[in-house]
Chains A and B, each alone.
Chain A
Amino acid sequence: MDCPKLLKTLWHAWCTFSNILGRVMSFIILTILWIFVFGVYAVILKILSIPKLWKKPPDTYWVDPLSEVPNGMRHQF
């Protein structure tokens, strides 16, 4: 069944609006997370890493690779 032209326009307008609304909401929610969740954890991590400031620079920047989990190829980690 063909949709009347007016309804189609309305539907497009609604989709555009909901898309914009989604972006705005994501931005707000992510920003709240950024301040209250990431912020708190980041501050704790920064405090915990203070002793590292006195660590002398390493002789080499080569490090060992991360160890592979059993059956590693089947996992995304």
Chain B
Amino acid sequence: MNKPVYILGLSCYYHDSACVLIKDGEILFAAQEERYTRKKQDESFPNKAIQAAFDSTGITIEDISAIGFYEKPFIKFFDRILRTTFKVWPRGLMQYQYSMQDWMTKKLWIPQSIRKELNYKGDIFFIPHHESHAYSSFGVSGFDNATIVTVDGVGEWATATIGRGCSEVPSAKCQVPNSGTWNLPLGPELETEGELGTSKPVQTVKILKEIHYPHSLGLLYSAITYYLGFKVNSAEYKVMGLAPYGKPKYLEKMRELIDVKEDGSFALDMKYFTFEHGLRMTGRSIEKLLGQPRRKPESDLGQFHKDIARSLQDMTEEVMIKIVTHAKKIAPSKNLCLAGGVSLNCVANGKILRSGLFENIYVQPASGDAGGALGVALAIWYKQFNGKKLYQMNHSYFGDEFSDDEIEKCLKKEDVPFLKLSYEGLIDRISTLMEGDNVIGWFQGRMEYGPRALGNRSIIADARNKENWQKVNLKIKFRESFRPFAPTVLEERIGDYFDLDRPTPFMLLVADVHPDKRDEIPAVTHVDGSARIQSINREQNQKYYDLIKAFEQKTGCGVIINTSFNVRGEPIVRSPEDALNCFLNTHMDYLVLGNYLLTKRDIPEEKVLKQKDYLEKFELD
């Protein structure tokens, strides 16, 4: 019998480190390190996540056939970083000091770190950052061919790429219009040259065009996020949530920051940005251009800030539409795969979908750098092992799981009263409790991979009650009041509520709520009438689906609020202990851990609401 091929993909040392373990092309485990260290977007070597991967699958480092790292460190340092240092000299001394020490002591020693941390002696592979992104989406899209667009802050040099994915026989030649020939698999819409090979088809990605640093749509978004007083690389989604409150009054000013060509390529006017040479993203010039100083973090948000957010969002959507339009021309396909941090911008994704340019769009749930771990593992599987094509990844439940015994042990240790229910009893009880203003912590099964909680580490509530919006924002998540909530909807009822004709299991598409339904589900309808939708079917998550179905049978409403199980600045909970801590220190009414139910009013007073200490543990984002 052949020995199975285990591949470990790693991303770390920038932000959001993660590991992914695949066996013969099947994803066995995927998780971000932050969930274990409890430090949001932790960038450290994902030791704990790797250990959890081994524990959950019962393998050891000896079983691993290959390890992949999600970028090319030497190109990044010796080419991009050093060249930028020369370019900005004599400015940038402090950035140079930081980055030199960081690179010399850590980031230039990736193979050594991997071997030392894991006691590993086998092969280590490296692929370019954006190729990791491309594989992370196309490799699990299930498509035979696709146009691939990746957009993020920066990888080595690339900040945005257009690529082509094929699932065909190696050794045939693909001819892509305007892009020359390469020895690669065929896509049905490509012209052929030469004879087809005889080996089996593989999924292959070819990057055709790139935009290079410092010109970056992701860094523009981060720079304005910084200007608006939010945390860079973390709070960009707040700007996206703030945008609908504003008007695009500063769109023309945005055009001064970024020159966009008709083919979607763009260049930043670097006089407005300081990230090339400073430790901050923007300086005085942008304040002069936009007319106001940078907002102090945690200070009041005015209409000006909302208008800036809206203008930036509109600009981003305009650029993304132009990029995908051009991408369709140079790498034509009816399928589009998106990846990179910017493709977490679900409002832009929704616009791309509605543009009608592509029949199918696939965005993988861990689209940011955590997804690079998946991308490199898949690249190794396809390129080094000629591995079989994976089915479409349609759920993200690849993390830790806790048995009833483990949950009960935790509850007994913490000495809190609980009730154990049967599956049916639990579904019936919780669907009843959800009616009205109860807010429930819902902890089940395997943890989600990627930044979204999709029904296993979620806080849920009734979407029909508008009060729940503010209750969850202010009393449970302790976050800004403007932040909207996302709905989970039964897959078969998407069309009844939303202007959307397909499933969206990863909360990565925004669409309008039908005008006649906005009053029915006000807690998940944003001010502009839109919603960031997660659809669910029974195959993806049986318990979560059954819960919403039972709620629908009782109330007629097939939509609930779903937000991540954490407070502001805290990574999403991983274990029953994390969930219990979060529950005890917030105004959540009920907690469901597996089949165990905890009621807040039954918990002894001395155990609850020491939230000041709890909240202080997490740095605000």
Contact = CB atoms under 8 A, between A and B. Distances in A.
A67 to B, nearest CB: 11
Contacts of A73: 125-127, 379-380, 383-384
A72 to B, nearest CB: 8
A18 interface: no
Given A26-B101, A38-B86, A73-B127, A62 B210 contact: yes
A50 to B, nearest CB: 14
Contacts of A74: 123-126
A65 B209 contact: yes
B510 interface: no
A65 B73 CA distance: 16
A9 interface: no
A38 B265 contact: no
Interface in A56-73: 59-66, 72-73
A42 B208 CA distance: 31
A65 B89 contact: no
Interface in B210-233: 210-212, 215
Interface stretch (B157-165, B391-399, B532-540): B157-165
B127 A63 contact: no
B261 A60 contact: yes
B97 A66 contact: no
A45 B158 contact: no
Contacts of A62: 162, 209-211, 263, 265, 326
B14 interface: no
A52 B158 CA distance: 22
B85 A76 contact: no
B266 A45 contact: no
Contact of B157 (A30, A34, A39, A66): A66
B615 interface: no
Given A59-B261, A61-B267, A62-B265, A77 B78 contact: yes
A31 interface: yes
B618 interface: no
Nearest to B101: A26
B275 interface: no
A72 B158 CA distance: 17
Nearest to A77: B74
B263 A65 contact: no
B13 to A, nearest CB: 13
Given A61-B261, A62-B211, A73-B380, A45 B87 contact: yes
A41 B86 contact: yes
A75 interface: yes
A27 interface: yes
Interface in B552-598: none
B471 interface: no
B433 interface: no
Contact of B89 (A26, A42, A66, A76): A42
Nearest to A41: B86
Contacts of B326: 62
**Most chain A beta carbons < 10 A, residue from B89, B124, B209:** B89
Interface residues of A, number: 24
A45 B96 CA distance: 18
A66 to B, nearest CB: 7
A3 B207 CA distance: 60
Interface string B78-102: 1000000111011001001100110
B110 interface: yes
A30 B85 contact: no
Contacts of B162: 62
A26 B215 CA distance: 31
A54 B210 CA distance: 24
B161 A66 contact: no
A10 B559 CA distance: 64
B289 interface: no
Contact of A76 (B110, B123, B207, B384): B110
A34 B215 contact: no
B133 to A, nearest CB: 13
Contact of B161 (A41, A60, A65): A65
A22 to B, nearest CB: 10
Contact of A39 (B90, B126, B207, B383): B90
Interface in B442-472: none
Given A39-B89, A73-B380, A77-B78, A61 B96 contact: no
Interface in A19-60: 26-27, 30-31, 34, 38-39, 41-42, 45, 59-60
B72 interface: yes
B59 interface: no
Nearest to B127: A73
A39 B85 CA distance: 10
A41 to B, nearest CB: 6
A44 to B, nearest CB: 9
Interface string B134-167: 0000000000000000000000111001100000
Given A34-B93, A74-B124, 12 more contacts: A30-B96, A30-B97, A30-B101, A59-B261, A62-B211, A64-B209, A66-B157, A72-B127, A73-B126, A73-B384, A75-B72, A76-B72
11 contacts: A30-B101, A38-B85, A42-B90, A62-B211, A62-B265, A62-B326, A63-B212, A65-B128, A73-B125, A75-B126, A77-B78
Interface of A: 26-27, 30-31, 34, 38-39, 41-42, 45, 59-66, 72-77
Q: Can you list the 9 inter-chain pairs with the closest CB atoms, starting with the nearest?
A: A61-B265, A42-B89, A77-B74, A76-B74, A62-B209, A73-B125, A42-B86, A62-B265, A65-B207
